Structure 1
Amino acid sequence: MLIQELLTPSRTLCGFEGGSKKRVLEKTSQLIAEQNPGLEADTVFSGLLGRERLGSTGIGDGVAIPHCRLQDCQNALGYLITLDSPIDFDSIDGKPVDLIFTLVVPEEACDEHLQTLASAAELFSQESVRSALRNTSDDAALYTVISDLGK
């Protein structure tokens, strides 16, 4: 599944205040829970943090793709965030992260999870994509840029 299919205007946030990896995961979890009544922020946070403990989801070039599978999740959910300032994310290349795509999928959606992760990694490996996303100045522009990439 393409990440553009998972995003909505309310799931694209430009200039998100980060601070630290843990704080970004916590705030993202709260946002996901607020927009998806069947999910609890603590459950989402635990899932994302648990995955990070297995190894950083910082894929390099300032991009991170935190993700997890959750029992109470009904549909795949994607959130695209640009940070106001880059943060340390223990990325494989050691560079700080300012582009984050968070993915939460139903526990049984293993194939969809892996396909979406592969699609996201491929998309974010392109310098032109990263540059276009970083050059947005508000949520609407960020959503428009990412949506247009799928056309």
Structure 2
Amino acid sequence: MDLSSLLKPAAVRVIGHATSKKRLFQDLAEVAHSVCGLDASEAVDALQERESLGPTGVGHGVALPHARIDGLDQVVGVFLRLEKPLDFDAVDRQPVDLVFALFAPKDSGVEHLKALASVSRRMRDPATCVKLRANNDPAALHAVLTEARSSQAA
């Protein structure tokens, strides 16, 4: 799945810091509201409900919160780079500074999973994370996240 179909340039932001996981979810929901028209409070509730099943901090400073939302017609993403990392209860107990959230339609079974797998692959790439951490410009961050992968076959 092509990340450029999930992530609009306006959905990429750099923020100073979030004071808590709940505040981070509010920031994500506000961006999703402004870019995609999602109901912000519904988005926060859905993110918190999913997080209650287990933390979405996947390690190495990366979190992939995700939720299913009524009324969406496609999977959409929001990316935040935090200038000050946040304790996120990640699997490796490291604070998080790269957050790629996904919001999917309630009934989006396989599309949601494909999107999550694509985002996960991109965010597991150490070179991508280095580039993301080295940039403060949302347009440059969007370019790093959505650039086509070159073939690594030899």
TM-score under structure 2 normalisation? 0.90
- Indicate the residue corresponding to 1:6 in structure 2: 6
Read off the aligned partner of 1:148 and give its amino acid letter.
Answer: E
Q: Distance in 1 between matches of 2:30 and 2:134?
A: 26
| Aligned-partner SS, 2:52 | helix
The answer as to whether partners of 1:48 and 1:68 remain within 8 angstroms in 2 is yes
Unaligned runs of 5+ in 2: none
1:86 aligns to what? 85
Deviation at 1:27, TM superposition (A): 1.5
**TM-score, normalization by structure 1:** 0.92
Inter-partner Cα distance in structure 2 for 1:64 and 1:107: 21
CA 1:36–1:126: 2 relative to 1, 3 Å? closer
**Alpha-carbon distance in 2 for matches of 1:15, 1:124:** 18
Tell me the amino acid that sits aligned with residue 79 of structure 1.
Answer: V
User: How big is the shift at 1:17?
Assistant: 3.0
Secondary structure of 1:73's match? coil
Match of 1:75 in 2: 74
Contact 2:69 2:105 in 1 (8 A): yes
RMSD: 1.5
Instruction: List alignment gaps of at least 5 residues for structure 1.
Output: none
Asked if 1:35 is matched to 2:26, the reply is: no
Letter matched to residue 29 of structure 2: S
Query: 1:72-96 CA deviation, whole Å, 9 max, x = no partner?
Result: 2122110111001000110000000
Q: CA deviation at 1:16?
A: 4.7
- Residue 149 of structure 1: how far off its partner (Å): 4.4
Structure 1: how far apart are the matches of 2:35 and 2:131?
A: 26
Q: How many residues align?
A: 150
